[in-house]
Structure 1
Amino acid sequence: MAVAIAQIVETEGTFTENQIQDLLNSLLPVLHFIHSHNVIHRDIKPGNIIRRADKQLVLVDFGAAKIATGTALLKTGTSIGSPEYIAPEQARGKAFFTSDLYSLGVTCLYLLTQVSPFDLFDPGEDAWIWRQYLAKNPVSEQLGKMLDKMIENATNRRYQTAVEVLKEINTQVAIDLAVPQTISKLVKPAPTPTLTQQQTYNWQCFHTLTGHKNLIYSVAFSPNGEVVASGSDDKTIKLWGVEDAQEIVTLIGHTNSVYTVAFSPDGLMLASSSHDKTIKLWRMKDGQEIRTLLGHINSVYGAAFSPDGEIIASCSWDKTIKIWRVQDGQEIRTLAGHTNLVYFVAFSPDGETIASCSWDRTVKIWRVKDGKLIRTLTGHTDSVRCIAFSPNGDFLASGSHDNTIKIWWVKDWQEVLTITGHSWYVDSIAFSPDGEILASSSNQIIKIWRVKDGQEICNIAGHTNSVYSVNFSPEGEFLASGSSDKTIKIWQNTMFV
């Protein structure tokens, strides 16, 4: 049963600092979402924040919400909202995005003190005196300063966006990635892992697979998790058993380096792309080549199946992306717009969009049904080498030769997080099946990051040369990596042991 936090504080007492941080981490992404769609809530207060039966915090009652377009923000209107919690400018009939931040800040003061906001402000001194009411519930200097800035009287002295507040809370550029599917249904962020929780993300080498004669560019798990495929500079593809580490078969047919291997969603086919300018489809049951897709005029770096398995997207040094029909290998259309070679392509989980990344430092988003360019994402300062959609389709990650990983919010294609920590090019990235962690490779190192805030939680070393590909198994128990040391390593998450 859902309960308003106004009622909770009456029965359970004041909130602690950790509870306030949890509240802010839960609600600020909602404000980022509605503000990015030009909506101001205008009535944030304890009575409009509920705790659901599953303990998740949700912002409700958008009856006072206002669309802020054009000059609407500058117009004086009727004062809306609860007098104790609204910002001074809102009391005068003007509401801004930062007015919601003010109300959220005042709400936090009430939760910390259980005292009416009217009594937390001294009009004679024109100052907030909320610290006098903390009693035995002290807060850190950092949180205190942050709340003071949220409740500044002058709008230009407050935080201007929800993301700015989140940066302060999480110490580096961080935004909760559990963004609501709808405004009224917020998925609460996972709590900051304790040391014990972080230790579950230790990865031990389970198998080292040897047999390729040259570097490995790509690795992929079959949908049932029983097979790993690898594509190599030695022009071959190998299939390996995950449990016994035995080579099953070697697929021969490409006349140059194999850059990408990808399983069809049903696991019946494997696609491979090559420096020989082709994409090949292979039948998994016997390793026989089904057909070769011809049309690119230069090396084909990436290939990906759509979620329904009916089409394939490929990308090339020829600066194009091509979409092919799997059934007969016919080219459906060519997407042109990048100004340099295209490294990688990925379908969104709903199959409606394709993302591509390029040497031209951009990520482009295309609509599948007609090939229309929807958006160009800029922000990386060097080539964008790899991309991946989160399993729920809410986010896109990109890895670059600028040594960073960026997370983009699919709802509005805004950058919400930059992950730093690699000292060299980021060559591959992959989301875990639950979307909570992200793996990346750079040079000889694989790093595991917490998606929520970009914190590094594991550093995996073991390869003796650059790692060009990482991928999780379907259940998340294993992580496969392919390297220029000519080996594939399968790492096991110790939480499954």
Structure 2
Amino acid sequence: MTTSPPPPSAAAPQKQQPTSATLTPLPPFQPDLYQRAWSSIPHPTLPLLATAHAKSVTVFSLATLTKHSALTGGHARSVRTAAWQPARGSGNTKRLGLVTGSFDATAGMWSFDEEEERGLEREVRFGGNSEEGDDDNDGGKEWEFNLVLEGHENEVKGLAFSPGGQYLATCSRDKSVWIWEDVSSGEGDGTEDDWETVAVLSEHDGDVKAVAWCPVDLPNAKAGARRGNYSADVLASASYDNTVRIWREDADGEWVCVDVLTDHEGTVWGLQWETKPRDDGKFPRLMTFSADGTIKVWSLREEETPDEPAAAEDSNAFRSNFGALPNTLRRSLREEWDCTAVLPKVHTRDIYSVAWSADTGLVASTGSDGIVAVYAEVDESEALSDKSGGEQEGEDVVMTSPSPQQQQRKPTWKVLGTISSAHGPYEVNHVTWCKRFDAGAAPERRGREEMLVTTGDDGVVRPWQARIA
């Protein structure tokens, strides 16, 4: 009798799963950039948003939705991408850093003036106060261009810091991924930049569009470092060759490809790691999106008792799946990543960007068709039960039906809502979730409530209020 109540009580929360999303445009960030903008990257803790466009980066305040500062003069051609550097130094000497990737084939390291960074800390606390937030002192807010990373032969398409900041990965039209290591002493005020190349990975057959590091601080994220064969750092790269490659550092310090994901039928424009801890405690999943109009979810095949002899037995089948593999894809270091879900079809053209919320687990996507879509992962049983009364649920169920004997619910994805022509006739290049610090958010929810931000060819950086029901 006591074991009977848990199923109903476990099912009850499922009724409160999200069923719809309404996106309402908020006033766009000012000023308009009046030229194609590629991406907008929120700072992980401060109310700042870095937008790459032309030969510069404009940093907007999330408190005032206006320009905070700008990075100019470091690149000869357009800045394609940017990433915030994990905090360096300690105490009052912590430094704000940003890295930029450009069509001039270089990456640039920037830092913010030390005194002004203390102003940023004040902005976190008083961002909702218009008297504090509208300080008209942009002229004193200076970014310093510290270092140029050279080596790529063509434009830098993407870059990303490892979670701890020890490594920086850059990727390029030259079909390569470079891994740079921070070899700064770590002493003093943390203002010195010293990076050296530790690996050049040239196994893709086309432009490498994006790189992303697995968030290793999540529960079980280190589980993949089986039997000490390689480190916990995991890098994924997406390419024009329609594939995604998974990379790890082995015990000898060599970066090796441990799997190749081949299910896409078009350019893989990018990827996103799951940053919300999983209820089942398993390794973070990877989401990939492509010119084929699909968004796929990949899961690491985690064996309960991973045996090297057992792994060797199916090596022939593994090789047959990928053909002649380079030596760096070593049998002893290989992994198996399976496509475990395909999100419902929404986009009619290339999908350029996907954002996976660390808070809610909701996913947003956008692309060349100008559509912005929001998705939620739900129990398959609920998606099936919703089928009778929904308008768009016909496409919701994308995975096979669960066994009646299985108590565990199988997740699937459903569309919560879409917006067409989000930037009018222009393509939308990027979408991201970020915290709200503006005066329009309820005071008690500032810094906690999420909104969407889209960036387009029209040079507009547009925030959206997301109402989830």
Give the TM-score range, shorter chain: 0.5 to 0.7
> Is 1:479 equivalent to 2:456 in the alignment?
no
Number of residues of Structure 1 aligned to a counterpart in Structure 2 = 315
> Is 1:335 equivalent to 2:201 in the alignment?
yes
Structure-2 residue corresponding to 1:352:
233
Structure-2 residue corresponding to 1:386:
270
State the Cα distance separating 1:254 from its structure 2 match: 1.4
Q: Tell me the percent identity.
A: 26
Q: How does 1:231-270 map to 2 (within 5 A)?
A: 231-232=52-53, 234-252=54-72, 253-266=74-87, 268-270=96-98
- 2-structure distance, mates of 1:381, 1:495: 32
Q: 1:425 pairs with 350, 363, 384, which one?
A: 350
Contact preservation (8 Å) 2:19, 2:468: no
Structure-2 residue corresponding to 1:115:
none
State the Cα distance separating 1:204 from its structure 2 match: 2.2
208-217 or 245-254, which deviates more: 208-217
Supply the AA of the counterpart residue of 2:111.
R
465-474 or 238-247, which deviates more: 465-474
Contact preservation (8 Å) 1:433, 1:476: no
Supply the AA of the counterpart residue of 1:377.
L
TM-align CA RMSD: 2.4
State the Cα distance separating 1:451 from its structure 2 match: 3.1
- 2-structure distance, mates of 1:422, 1:348: 26
State the Cα distance separating 1:460 from its structure 2 match: 3.0
Q: How does 1:18-417 map to 2 (within 5 A)?
A: 191=14, 193=16, 197-199=18-20, 201-209=21-29, 210-232=31-53, 234-252=54-72, 253-266=74-87, 268-285=96-113, 286-326=142-182, 327=184, 328-350=194-216, 352-368=233-249, 369-391=253-275, 392=277, 394-411=284-301, 412-417=336-341
Q: 1:492 pairs with 453, 458, 465, which one?
A: 465
Structure-1 residue corresponding to 2:416:
457
- 1-structure distance, mates of 2:83, 2:204: 23
Supply the AA of the counterpart residue of 2:337.
W
- 2-structure distance, mates of 1:375, 1:227: 36
Supply the AA of the counterpart residue of 2:415.
E
State the Cα distance separating 1:388 from its structure 2 match: 0.5
Structure ranking higher on relative contact order (CA contacts 8 Å, 6+ apart)? 2
Identify if the C-alpha distance between structure 1 residues 284 and 205 changes in structure 2 by more than 3 Å, giving closer, same or farther. farther
Identify if the C-alpha distance between structure 1 residues 213 and 432 changes in structure 2 by more than 3 Å, giving closer, same or farther. same
Supply the AA of the counterpart residue of 2:69.
V
Supply the AA of the counterpart residue of 2:171.
C
State the Cα distance separating 1:336 from its structure 2 match: 1.7
What do residues 131-154 of structure 1 show as CA deviations (whole Å, max 9, x unaligned)?
xxxxxxxxxxxxxxxxxxxxxxxx
State the Cα distance separating 1:435 from its structure 2 match: 5.2
Specify every segment of 5 or more residues in structure 2 that has no aligned partner in the other structure, as ranges.
Answer: 88-94, 114-141, 185-193, 217-231, 278-282, 302-335, 379-411, 436-447
Contact preservation (8 Å) 2:214, 2:284: no
State the Cα distance separating 1:405 from its structure 2 match: 0.3
Please state whether the residue corresponding to 1:288 is helix, strand or coil: strand
Identify if the C-alpha distance between structure 1 residues 189 and 219 changes in structure 2 by more than 3 Å, giving closer, same or farther. farther
What do residues 32-82 of structure 1 show as CA deviations (whole Å, max 9, x unaligned)?
xxxxxxxxxxxxxxxxxxxxxxx66xxxxxxxxxxxxxxxxxxxxxxxxxx
State the Cα distance separating 1:463 from its structure 2 match: 1.0
Supply the AA of the counterpart residue of 2:100.
S
Contact preservation (8 Å) 2:213, 2:273: yes
Supply the AA of the counterpart residue of 2:374.
I
Contact preservation (8 Å) 1:216, 1:484: yes
Please state whether the residue corresponding to 2:3 is helix, strand or coil: helix
Higher radius of gyration, 1 or 2? 1
Please state whether the residue corresponding to 1:427 is helix, strand or coil: strand
Contact preservation (8 Å) 1:311, 1:323: yes
The alignment's TM-score, normalised by the length of structure 1, stands at 0.60
269-278 or 281-290, which deviates more: 281-290
What do residues 193-235 of structure 1 show as CA deviations (whole Å, max 9, x unaligned)?
56xx434x33322231243241111110011240111001x21
Supply the AA of the counterpart residue of 2:271.
I
375-384 or 429-438, which deviates more: 429-438
Contact preservation (8 Å) 1:431, 1:438: yes
